[in-house]
Amino acid sequence: MASPQPKIKSKVRCVDGEVGEVVHVIADPLSLDVSHIVVRANGTERQVPVSAIGAVRGESVELTCNAAQFSGFPELKRQDYVSSKEVEIPHLENRIHVEPGELLVPFPELEKNCARRSFFAGFINVIGALIALPLVWPVLRYIMKPMYVPYDNHWIKIGNISKIKTEDIGVQYIFKKSFKDSVLQREEEKNHWVVKASPETLKKIYTHGDIPFYDEKGAVIWINNQTVPYVAFSGKCPHLGCGYKWRSHKTRGQVFLCPCHLSIYDASGAVLDGPAPRPLDVLPIQISPSGDIEVIDVEYKAGKKEQVRIA
């Protein structure tokens, strides 16, 4: 006849008095027998081998040791075990009559070594990547090259000043620009605005004197001379990069108006109204003897109070 099994919440007594109660039962997954009971005493859970059990009588478990010897049993390391809810062992529940979750079995050794196996798997992946790098690097370099090329500082002809008839009036120039992205040569239609500024407007634009422009290394590539009346503005609104137009305003007269969020600028590019964080961006400009307008297609990050060049 099989020996009585310890029950969960059974009182546990040593030879010199009660010490706690049973909170878990640990089973051997191979023999399907109880190997230990877990006793909670004074807030600590200790593993007690079944060999230390003298008798099981109803709701009481009697140990063959005293309280001092009981305190020498090891504390439960819960991370070393899984419950019967987490692992399926055939016929285990039929042999040991406790509720799922109260029955613990040792954590599988192979799973304990998971971190080690993960390390070796990662190590193998790194070695594989190093072996493949000489093969894929030329492709990656070709794809990523446009991300790291210097700013495009070449001059682009966008039109002729003969199109401009009046001072302080915005005139749009539409042009096509060729550029190369990851792998393809593309052509994009862009636009900038040019104003023939009156002396008063020039003073507002060149408040701090001539305007210098810089490359990605901080070297000066061009200086707009404040004596030149023609001023080119980027076709992108500094707020969010939208396109804007030259329009008549019922109270402010003729202005640059961005319809997206209603930023308004005067002929000098100064902000009159709306959420724009800075004036219109002035571009490097030069006028040939025949009146051709050339600009450097500088781009600045939208939404910033200060100019941050991005192209």
3-class DSSP string for 253-305:
EEEEEECCCCEEECCCCCEEECCCCCCCCEECEEECCCCEEEEECCCECCCCC
**pTM (predicted TM-score):** 0.55
Query: What is the pLDDT at residue 178?
Result: 82
Is residue 82 classed as helix, strand or coil in its secondary structure? strand
Reported as a single tens digit per residue, the pLDDT across 38-74 is 999 999 999 999 999 999 988 899 999 999 999 999 9
Q: For 163, list phi and psi in degrees, rounded to 5.
A: -75, -20
Q: For 177, list phi and psi in degrees, rounded to 5.
A: -125, 130
Do the bridges between strand 103-106 and strand 17-27 make them parallel or antiparallel, or are there none, so unpaired? parallel
Whether 222 and 284 have beta carbons less than 8 Å apart is answered as yes
Average pLDDT per block of 10 residues along the chain, 311 residues long: 75 94 85 87 93 90 94 91 67 60 68 53 74 70 57 93 96 88 74 97 96 92 96 96 91 90 94 94 97 95 92 81
Query: What is the pLDDT at residue 110?
Result: 44
Whether 24 and 36 have beta carbons less than 8 Å apart is answered as no
Query: What is the pLDDT at residue 146?
Result: 52
Single-letter amino acid, residue 91:
H
Q: For 126, list phi and psi in degrees, rounded to 5.
A: -65, -45
Reported as a single tens digit per residue, the pLDDT across 183-221 is 567 788 999 999 999 999 999 999 999 999 999 888 999
Q: Spell out the residues 6+ positions from residue 177 whose beta carbon is closer than 8 angstroms to its own.
A: 156, 187, 188, 190, 297
Q: How far apart are CA 277 and CA 170, in angstroms?
A: 21
What is the residue whose two structure tokens read 């550029």? 179
Structure tokens at 308: 């941050």
What is the residue whose two structure tokens read 């040569």? 185
Of 246, 266, 231, nearest to 172 by C-alpha is 246
Q: Spell out the residues 6+ positions from residue 31 whose beta carbon is closer than 8 angstroms to its own.
A: none
To 5 degrees, how large is the angle CA 33–CA 48–CA 99?
50
Query: What is the pLDDT at residue 184?
Result: 67
Whether 32 and 92 have beta carbons less than 8 Å apart is answered as yes
To 5 degrees, how large is the angle CA 283–CA 287–CA 292?
105
Of 302, 180, 291, nearest to 234 by C-alpha is 302
Query: What is the pLDDT at residue 269?
Result: 97
| Polymer length in residues for the chain | 311
* Residue 22 CB neighbours (<10 A): 23
Q: Spell out the residues 6+ positions from residue 150 whose beta carbon is closer than 8 angstroms to its own.
A: 215, 216
Euclidean distance between the first and the last CA atom of the chain, given in angstroms as a whole number = 88
Query: What is the pLDDT at residue 81?
Result: 82
Is residue 34 classed as helix, strand or coil in its secondary structure? strand
Q: For 234, list phi and psi in degrees, rounded to 5.
A: -60, 145
Query: What is the pLDDT at residue 106?
Result: 81
Query: What is the pLDDT at residue 19?
Result: 95
Query: What is the pLDDT at residue 111?
Result: 46
Half-sphere exposure of 2 (CA within 13 A, CB side): 8
